[in-house]
Amino acid sequence: MKYIIPYLFVALLIVSCKTIKETTETQHNTISKTVDTREIQGGMWIPSLLEGVNEVEMQQLGSKMTAKDIYDVNNSSLKDAIVHFNGGCTSEIISPNGLLLTNHHCGYGAIQSHSSVEHDYLQNGFWAMSYDQELANPGMTVTFIKRIDDVTAEVFAGVTSDLDEASKLKKINQNILKVVKSANKETWQDANVKAMYKGNQYMLFITEEYKDIRLVGAPPTSIGKFGSDTDNWMWPRHTGDFSMFRIYADANNRPAEYSKENVPYKPNHYLPISLDGVEENDFTLVFGFPGTTNEYLPAVGIDQTVNVLNPAKIEVRENALKIVDGFMRSDAEIKIKYASKYASIANYWKKWIGENQGIEKSKAIEKKRALEAEFSKIVKEKDLVGYSTLLSDFENLYKEIESVSLARDYWIEVAYRNVELLGITFRGYQLEQAFLRGGEEAFNSARTTILSRLNGTFKNYSAKVDKPVFAKLASLYAEKAPSDYVPLNMKNVNFNELANRIYSRSKLTSLESATELLAGSATEVIEKLNNDEAYKFGKELHTIFYNKIEPKFQQLNMQLEAVQKKYMKGLMEVFPNKRFFPDANSTLRVTYGQVKGYEPKDGVYFNTTTYLEGVMEKYIPGDYEFDVPQKLQELYKNKDYGQYAENGKIPVCFIGTNHTTGGNSGSPAIDAEGNLIGLNFDRVWEGTMSDMNYDPDICRNIMVDVRYVLFIVDKYAGAKNLIKEMTLVHPKKNK
């Protein structure tokens, strides 16, 4: 997963999330007596609050675990084996020596950074056969959650209804600081507070961050990324999307910077691994760090996303991808340089298309409208105060925010994200702003940051590719972004000529000339920048963004969030028997469901499991997406499967009804007894709309079967040392 939020306005976003409400209650659900298992799936639950409803639901789905087996502060529990991986993904501990399992696409950057022409670990895979062969990754971190406390009462202390919104917000933020400061924790631990249920509940997280994380193993891309973009977000799937790392600690088992003296971390818990596999309807639990969901949007909000914002973003990316793909196909060097960027542009491009289809297929907007009608009816009947104007407030605010949201998305997609030269001018813009606000000193520190970023950017940059992308995307912006937000220098322009001029004259198209431009005193650099053709063009766009788009968006969005917060509270009050989970916010969550196939369209049923046979069916010799390593073909031919086969076949991936999202990559899939059975890495296409509307009929998460992981480690890579340190179990056979 990747979140792209330009860091200058991150601060604004964080503040705007926290609007205020005086009272709050922890959510408890009631359960109907007759169990429709469809009704008790979906949701991403806070691990410390599973007792009661969630525990009962899990057992109804077949779990043998108690809430305390999953989360316990006083004894070891599943949660001690789950770690946030480098801020974006999830990973889990699978041995008493701190061995970590996560996705190949989560370890990709690290694997790439150790690769060279002589040692191409992306191409050939990498396996450490002993501790001393493991590779350090400076800057990489993993985070444990030690404790989760409800601090809502402390956060709302003194936040009285007579205060205006700004004063409430101020008070809340002061209280949060107080809670963090006085949190009961060890010196090497951290504390932070996160808003749940749109700011109706606050939770304190005590965390421990480890900083010496070493690469242990990765299959070749032809296994770890098999099917690449063609198969991405799709079922049936045949990707062995895994890699392995190890946590190192100091002599006291505590976090430490990288050191040769560090030793493998000793966990409070690690996951035993089941060799017995799963079958349809088996219980599954996915434990991890989901990033963002928007499950309580009103119908107008979904409508706007699906019919206005997604189509615009899809069109921009489609155009960028087409151009980049053309170059990648005809130029081997460009193919390598753009592979990772292409994959990341393509990832959400494809997701949004699937999301739109799923929203339509599941009639999500109609269903939300019906729910809202019901909500209004009950509010009226019961004469509930404070909720009667919410839906019309939403209507008005969404109408008002539409054009500025659209402009904002165009700016992000065109001026920040996909035209690389415009992204570079944005860094220049930040530099100029730093100087205007903080003088020479701020300028110098911003320049250091920017130079190091440019170093990274230019490693994989080609102006030859970027120029036509600029011409196409800038003209799309000019034509399609709301005209109030289109700068004058983009009106009535021949973008091909403009591209020729800018790319032939700008100094910002190569590292050498950009570094030269950025050398000198602050005033010299600012003057040179403002004479640069690309900068002059980009500056107009960035100025519109900062002066017109962002302030208006933030102001309206703040109001929307205040309404959304009241609506969340209202929904929980009006429908006391419905299940409500707090939207994902990159905190640790539990989601549960069952292994299940699904019917993507009339007459088609997708099975739960794929096998090595399917890898061979997809095999295209020499293809960059569907090649299969020789060794794997031999193992297949000889049926050399060791203890990892099921009825003579090697399972590769399976699907379930677990409600997951970006950030759940690398999350463990756990069986009814707490054993590892799989590794989450994706969702099915029609089901990506679960970020706004989870539907148990078509939403499925995709997991690598852990037996495929073990088969590759053992039989393909011969890394028996790793198998030896794991605990392999037979929970089904031993019954």
Residues that bind ligand ARG (CB under 6 A): 1, 105, 228-229, 232-233, 343, 346-347, 662, 665, 682
| The one segment of 24-32, 364-372, 578-586, 657-665 that binds ligand GLU by CB under 6 A | 657-665
663 contributes a contact to ligand GLU by CB under 6 A: yes
Stretch that binds ligand GLU, among 178-186, 423-431, 508-516, 661-669 (CB under 6 A): 661-669
Confirm or reject binding of residue 681 to ligand GLU (CB under 6 A).
yes
- When asked if residue 665 is in the footprint of ligand GLU (CB under 6 A), the reply is yes
Q: Does 664 bind ligand GLU (CB under 6 A)?
A: yes
Name which position in 6, 593, 656, 662 contacts ligand GLU (CB under 6 A).
662
CA atoms of 253 and 272, how far apart (whole Å): 21
Closest CB 218 distance from ligand ARG, rounded Å: 14
Query: Could you please report the per-residue DSSP string of 625-664?
Result: TT---HHHHHHHHTT--GGG-BTTB-EEEEEE-----TT-
Two tokens, residue 567: 């609506």
Closest distance between ligand GLU and the C-beta of residue 561, in Å? Answer: 23
CB closer to ligand GLU, 651 vs 662: 662
Segment interacting with ligand GLU, rule: CB under 6 A, options 74-82, 205-213, 357-365, 655-663? 655-663
Active-site choice (228, 506, 665, 667): 665
From 334-342, 502-510, 617-625, 681-689, give the range in contact with ligand GLU by CB under 6 A. Answer: 681-689
Active site residue 241: yes
> In the complex with ligand GLU, which residue's Cβ is closer, 217 or 662?
662
Our CB check for ligand ARG shows the closer of 249 and 669 to be: 669
By beta-carbon proximity to ligand ARG, the closer residue of 19 and 90 is 90
Binding partner of 232, given ligand ARG, ligand GLU, none, CB within 5-8 angstroms per partner class: ligand ARG
CA distance 263 to 711: 27
SS3 188: coil
Q: How many residues bind ligand GLU (CB under 6 A)?
A: 10
As measured in angstroms, the least distance from the Cβ of 85 to ligand ARG is 13
- Provide φ and ψ at 97, rounded to 5°: -110, 30
Minimum CB separation from ligand ARG for residue 102, in Å? 12
Of 664 and 693, which has the nearer Cβ to ligand GLU? 664
Judged by beta carbon distances under 5 to 8 A according to partner kind, the member of ligand ARG, ligand GLU, none in contact with residue 228 is ligand ARG
Neighbour-count burial of 631, counting CB atoms closer than 10 A to its CB (0-12 exposed, 13-18 middle, 19+ buried):
middle
The answer to whether the Cα torsion of 683, 684, 688, 694 is positive or negative is negative
DSSP secondary-structure letter at 580?
-
Q: In the 8-state DSSP scheme, what is residue 24?
A: -
> Which residue of the chain is nearest ligand ARG when measured via CB?
343
Which is nearest to 391 in space by CA: 201, 570, 165?
570
The CA–CA distances, whole Å, from 129 to 108, 217, 707, 720 equal: 20, 9, 20, 8
Q: What is the dihedral of CA 324, 328, 334, 339, to 10 degrees?
A: 80
Smallest gap from residue 665 Cβ to ligand ARG (A): 5
Q: Which is nearer to ligand GLU, 94 or 584 (CB)?
A: 584
Residue 234 CB, nearest distance to ligand ARG (Å)?
9
CB-nearer residue toward ligand GLU: 44 or 406? 44
Could you say which residues in the range 184-223 bind ligand GLU, by CB under 6 A? none
Q: 102 forms bridges with which residues in the sheet? A: 243
1 binds ligand GLU (CB under 6 A): yes
Asked if 243 and 224 count as a contact pair (C-beta separation under 8 A), the reply is yes
User: Taking CB under 6 A as the rule, does residue 661 contact ligand GLU?
Assistant: yes
Candidate residues 168, 317, 683, 700; the one interacting with ligand GLU per rule CB under 6 A: 683
Report CA-CA distances (Å) from 514 to 452, 540, 617. 12, 20, 49
Which of 63, 77, 104, 105 is an active site residue? 105
Q: Tell me whether residue 290 or residue 696 sits nearer to ligand ARG (CB atom).
A: 290
- Examine residue 660 and tell whether it contacts ligand GLU (CB under 6 A): yes
d(C-alpha 302, C-alpha 410), whole Å: 18
* 587 belongs to the binding site for ligand GLU (CB under 6 A): no
**Binding partner of residue 229 among ligand ARG, ligand GLU, none, CB cut-off 5 to 8 Å per kind:** ligand ARG
Token couple for 331 = 């130029």
Report d(CA 366, CA 355) in Å as an integer: 16
Asked if 679 is part of the footprint of ligand GLU (rule: CB under 6 A), the reply reads no
- Binding partner selected for residue 451 from ligand GLU, ligand ARG, none, CB under the kind-specific 5 to 8 Å limit: none
**444 Cβ contact list (under 8 Å, min separation 6):** 522
Which does residue 664 touch among ligand GLU, ligand ARG, none (CB within 5 to 8 A, set by kind)? ligand GLU
Catalytic residue among 241, 393, 532, 583: 241
Specify the DSSP element, H or E, that contains 604: strand 604-606
Q: Does 682 bind ligand GLU (CB under 6 A)?
A: yes
Q: Which residues of 201-219 are buried (b: 16+ CB within 10 A; e: fewer)?
A: bbbbbbbbebbbbbbbbbb
Could you give the CA distance from residue 199 to residue 17 in angstroms, rounded to a whole number? 8
Alpha-carbon distances, residue 337 vs 327, 333, 398, 494, 500 (angstroms): 11, 6, 40, 29, 23
Q: What is the closest distance, in whole angstroms, from the C-beta atom of residue 229 to ligand ARG in the complex?
A: 5
Q: Which stretch binds ligand GLU (CB under 6 A): 112-120, 298-306, 611-619, 676-684?
A: 676-684
Find the shortest distance in angstroms from Cβ 722 to ligand ARG.
24
Burial of 294 (0-12, 13-18, 19+ CB in 10 A): middle
Q: How far is CA 339 from CA 189, 242, 333, 460, in A?
A: 38, 19, 10, 9
| 660 interacts with, out of ligand ARG, ligand GLU, none, CB within 5 to 8 A per kind | ligand GLU
Alpha-helix runs per DSSP H in 382-487: 390-410, 420-459, 463-480
Residue 663 binds which of ligand ARG, ligand GLU, none (CB < 5-8 A, kind-dependent): ligand GLU
233, interface contact from ligand GLU, ligand ARG, none, CB < 5-8 Å by kind:
ligand ARG
Q: How far is the CB of 395 from ligand ARG (least distance, A)?
A: 32
Closer residue to ligand GLU in complex, CB, 319/661: 661
Name residues whose C-beta falls within 8 Å of residue 462's C-beta, 6 or more positions apart in sequence: 327, 334, 337, 338
- Choice between 486 and 702, CB closer to ligand GLU: 702
CB-based closest residue to ligand GLU: 665
- Return d(Cα 77, Cα 68) in angstroms, integer: 7
For the bound state, the minimum distance from the C-beta of residue 115 to ligand ARG, rounded and expressed in Å, comes to: 18
Tell me how far, at minimum, the Cβ of 343 lies from ligand GLU, in Å.
11
Respond yes or no on whether the N-terminal peptide bond of residue 6 is cis (omega within 30° of 0): no
Residues 92, 271: contact at Cβ < 8 Å? yes
Which does residue 179 touch among ligand ARG, ligand GLU, none (CB within 5 to 8 A, set by kind)? none
Residue 343: contacted member of ligand ARG, ligand GLU, none (CB under 5 to 8 Å, by partner type): ligand ARG
Q: Which two tokens stand for residue 360?
A: 């339509």
Minimum CB separation from ligand ARG for residue 285, in Å? 20
Beta carbon nearer to ligand ARG, 135 or 343: 343
- For 107, the enclosing helix (H) or strand (E) is helix 104-113
| Angstrom distance (rounded) from CA 128 to CA 198 | 45
Tokens of 197: 């249920």
Name the nearest CA neighbour of 77 among 113, 119, 55, 48: 48
48 is catalytic: no
Question: What is the binding site for ligand GLU (CB under 6 A)?
Answer: 1, 660-665, 681-683
Which residues are designated catalytic?
105, 241, 665
